Amino acid sequence: MVQTVLFNNEIVSRKEVKIDLEDRGYQFGDGIYEVIGVYNTKTFKMAEHLKRLERSAKELRITLGNILEGLEANLEKLIALNGINDGIVYVQVSRGVAPRAHQFSQLEALPVVIAYTREMERPIEIQEKGVNCLLTEDIRWLRCDVKTLNLLGSVLAKQKAIDNSCYESILHRENVVTEGTATNVFIIKNQIVYTHPADNFILNGITRSTVIDLCKEEGIKVVEEKFDKQQLLQADEGFLTGTFIDIVPINKIEETVLGKGEPGRITEYLQRKFNRLIN
Residues catalogued as catalytic: 147
Minimum gap (Å) between residue 213 Cβ and ligand PLP: 13
Q: What are all long-range contacts of 82-85, with beta carbons under 8 Å and residues at least 24 apart?
A: 82/3, 82/4, 82/117, 82/119, 83/119, 84/38, 84/41, 84/117, 84/118, 84/119, 85/38, 85/40, 85/41, 85/119
In terms of Cα–Cα distance, which of 243, 58, 66, 253 is closest to 172? 253
Residues 129, 117: contact at Cβ < 8 Å? Answer: no
179 touching ligand PLP, by CB under 6 A: yes
Residue type, 221: K
Q: Pick from 43, 74, 183, 251 the residue near ligand PLP by CB under 6 A.
A: 183
Minimum gap (Å) between residue 103 Cβ and ligand PLP: 27
Residues 169, 160: contact at Cβ < 8 Å? Answer: yes
Q: Which positions ≥6 away from 68 have C-beta within 8 Å?
A: 50, 53, 54
- Binders of ligand PLP among residues 4 to 63 (CB under 6 A) are 35
170 touching ligand PLP, by CB under 6 A: no
Q: Pick from 31, 87, 205, 264 the residue near ligand PLP by CB under 6 A.
A: 205
Q: Pick from 132, 169, 195, 243 the residue near ligand PLP by CB under 6 A.
A: 243
Q: Pick from 93, 206, 220, 266 the residue near ligand PLP by CB under 6 A.
A: 206
Q: What are phi and psi of 148, to 5 degrees?
A: -95, 165
207 touching ligand PLP, by CB under 6 A: yes
Angle (nearest 5°) at CA 111 between 109 and 114: 135
Minimum gap (Å) between residue 265 Cβ and ligand PLP: 23
In terms of Cα–Cα distance, which of 165, 167, 159 is closest to 131? 167
**17-25, 121-129, 198-206, 260-268 -> range binding ligand PLP (CB under 6 A):** 198-206
* Rounded CA separation 130/249 (Å): 4
Nearer to ligand PLP, 43 or 207 (CB): 207
203 touching ligand PLP, by CB under 6 A: yes
Count of residues that interact with ligand PLP, criterion CB under 6 A: 14
136 touching ligand PLP, by CB under 6 A: no
* 131-137 vs 168-173, strand pairing mode: parallel
Q: Which positions ≥6 away from 256 have C-beta within 8 Å?
A: 233
249 touching ligand PLP, by CB under 6 A: no
Q: Pick from 57, 62, 88, 182 the residue near ligand PLP by CB under 6 A.
A: 182
**76-84, 94-102, 115-123, 201-209 -> range binding ligand PLP (CB under 6 A):** 201-209
Q: Which residues bind ligand PLP (CB under 6 A)?
A: 35, 154, 179, 182-184, 203, 205-208, 241-243
